[in-house]
Amino acid sequence: METLASAMRRENRRFKAPSSSSASAGSSVASGRVPLVMAFLSCLAWLYVAGRLWQDAQTRAILSGLLEKNSGNLPKVLSVEDKLRTLGCKEIGRKIVEAEMDLTKAKSEGYLWGNRTAAVDPEKKQQLLAVIGVYTGFGSRLKRNVFRGSWMPRDDALKKLEEKGVVIRFVIGRSANRGDSLDHHIDDENQRTKDFLILESHEEAAEELPSKAKFFFSTAVETWDAEFYVKVEDNINLDLAGLIEMLEGRRGSQGLYMGCMKSGVVVSDEGQQWYEPEWWKFGDSKTYFRHASGSLFILSKNLARYININSASLQSYAHDDISVGSWMMGVNATYVDDDRLCCSSSRQGRCSTN
């Protein structure tokens, strides 16, 4: 007969068997969720780390930009050489300011009455009386030969005239094609005759004639120290002795603008001879102001120096005599209208006679 104890043990085994199977199933489900949780936590950690790295990169970029902006404001350590260079620049700046003040003062005085003169050879005993510039061109060789055989001395006679205080030169610029045969012919001729003043910065052309006066007077003033500077065209027969006598009587004069004074109608029709592109500036009457004829006119030294100093700002017109006349209107020039300087058909082109 089965005892009570054995029966109870059998019942316990029957009830415990299903409980063990349920526990096993629950444990299997729990073990499947763990990897998911771990993966989720890993993603969160990865996102956190990536976010911190991005923030750090942004912070570094901002700091780098601020450092670059502020680097220019940092105090620079100057060497002795840098300090000396800085002091030298300050000294140069001070001299520039002083020069600008002198220039302003000189402009207010018109560059006319100062004591500064062109560089003078210390061995030169006296100032020249006159520099006479005879305008010429590339195709005027025959005219030059006629001049040299008439009123203009040549060779030794030309040198002796210079010793007496009068310099005569043919005035010409350079070809538009620098160094071509035209320039070579002039250079060769000058080598033989030594009687040219070549304007290196001027282009010898008909349309550039108005600006030739600027280059002539500027170059002449810088080359020779003379009482007077004379412009002569190559189509007149000059009474050289009469001209010298006239100028000798006016030594020491300041602000002289001498010539055969005239006026005339401004040609406003394009295509006509003597056309003036700036005709509208001369008013409704279309008449030129009083000026010396372009065949021959004379400027005293201070007026020639005025042209030299202000050449960059002086307005040129269609004709060189009009241009020079306009420049003289702006300064305190003394106009001298001398009939002996008029070259007309009645004089057969002979000027400066007694």
Six-digit token string for 295? 């065949």
Taking the C-alpha atoms of residue 172 and residue 183, their distance in angstroms, rounded to an integer, is 10
Residue 151 within any structural domain of the chain: yes
Q: Look at residue 320 in the predicted model and tell me its pLDDT.
A: 84
Q: Is residue 53 part of a domain?
A: no
- pTM of the complete model: 0.63
| DSSP category for residue 132 | E
pLDDT for the residue 278: 64
Is there a domain that residue 305 lies in?
yes
Angle, CA 72 vertex, CA 67 and CA 75 arms, to 5°: 105
Q: Per the domain annotation, does 205 fall within a domain?
A: yes
Cα–Cα distance for residue pair 52/75, rounded to 1 Å? 35
Could you list the pLDDT tens digit for every one of the 354 residues in the chain? 556 556 566 665 655 555 555 555 555 655 667 777 788 788 888 888 777 777 777 787 887 777 777 666 655 666 666 666 776 676 777 778 777 777 766 655 555 444 444 444 445 446 899 999 999 999 889 989 888 888 888 888 999 999 999 999 999 999 988 888 999 999 999 999 999 999 998 999 888 888 899 999 999 999 999 999 999 998 888 899 999 999 999 998 889 999 988 877 666 657 656 566 665 556 555 666 777 887 899 999 999 999 999 888 888 887 888 888 888 888 888 989 888 888 754 444 456 544
What is the end-to-end Cα distance of the chain in Å, rounded? 184
Q: How far apart are CA 300 and CA 259, in angstroms?
A: 12
Does the residue 54 lie in any domain? no
Residue given tokens 């220039």 in the structure block: 103
Residue 336 is inside which H or E element, if any?
Answer: strand 334-337
| CB atoms inside a 10 Å sphere around CB 339 | 10
Q: Closest by alpha carbon to 354, among 337, 338, 335?
A: 338
In a domain, 110, yes or no: no
Specify the pLDDT at position 297. Answer: 92
Tokens of 187: 């250079």
Position 299 scores a pLDDT of 95
- Catalogue the long-range contacts made by 240-247 (C-beta closer than 8 Å, 24 or more residues apart): 240/151, 240/152, 240/166, 240/352, 242/340, 242/352, 242/353, 242/354, 243/130, 243/132, 243/351, 243/352, 244/129, 244/130, 244/166, 245/354, 246/338, 246/340, 246/352, 247/129, 247/130, 247/298
Please give the C-alpha separations between residue 291 and each of 10, 108, 128, 236, in angstroms, as whole numbers: 151, 24, 26, 19
Instruction: Note down the domain range covering 272.
Output: 128-351
pLDDT confidence of residue 319: 81
104: tokens are 């302003």
Report yes or no on 211 lying in a domain: yes
Position 136 scores a pLDDT of: 93
Task: Dump the DSSP string for 167-214.
Answer: EEEEEEEE-SSTTSHHHHHHHHHHHHH--EEEEEEEE--GGGHHHHHH
- The whole-number pLDDT of residue 114 equals 43
Name the domain count of the chain: 1
CA distance 138 to 205: 9
- Domain contains 94: no
Indicate which CATH number applies to the domain containing 145: 3.90.550.50
pLDDT at position 118 is 46
Any bridge partners for residue 228, and if so which?
130, 300
Tokens 């002539």 belong to residue: 216
